[in-house]
Amino acid sequence: MNSWLALVQAVFSDPQVKILGAAILLNAVLAVALAIVGNSFSWPKLVDFARKQVIPYILVWAVLRAFDQFAGSSIDLAGIGSIGVLSSTFFATVLATLVAKAVGNIQELLNPPEAKS
C-alpha cells in the first residue's frame, strides 16, 4: 500500500503534473463559466469532464514518464537534467492543446455568440 501511495505522491509532486493540473483547472473554470453564462451547467457534465479529460491526461503522462525512465528513452540536458522524450513530448502537446482551449474559452466569454452580429 505504501508503494502505491509513494507512486501517487511522486507523480503529483512532479512540476509537469502541477503545470498540467493548473492548465486543466483553468480550462474547467472557464468551461463552467461558459456553461453558467449559457444556462447549460450541470454537475454530471462536470464529473464527466474530470473522468474523460483530467484523469486520462495524468495517467498517460505517468505511464509515458515511467516508460521513459525504465526504457532509457531520456536525454540529458546541461543545467536541466534528464528529460523523458515521450513524456515531455506528450506534456508539450497537451499543454499546447489546453492553452488553445483556454484562449478559445476566454474569447467566447468576452464575445458571447449573442453579442456577435
Note the pLDDT tens digit of each residue in 15-61. 887 888 899 889 889 988 988 988 888 888 888 887 887 788 878 87
Question: Quick check: 51 and 24 in contact, CB under 8 A?
Answer: no
Please tell me the predicted confidence (pLDDT) of residue 11: 65
> In sequence order, what are the residues at sequence separation of 6 or more whose Cβ sits closer than 8 angstroms to the Cβ of residue 92?
none
Rounded to whole angstroms, how far apart are CA atoms 104 and 7? 35
Please tell me the predicted confidence (pLDDT) of residue 54: 77
Domain residue ranges of the chain, discontinuous segments joined by +: 2-112
Grid coordinates standing for 35?
456553461
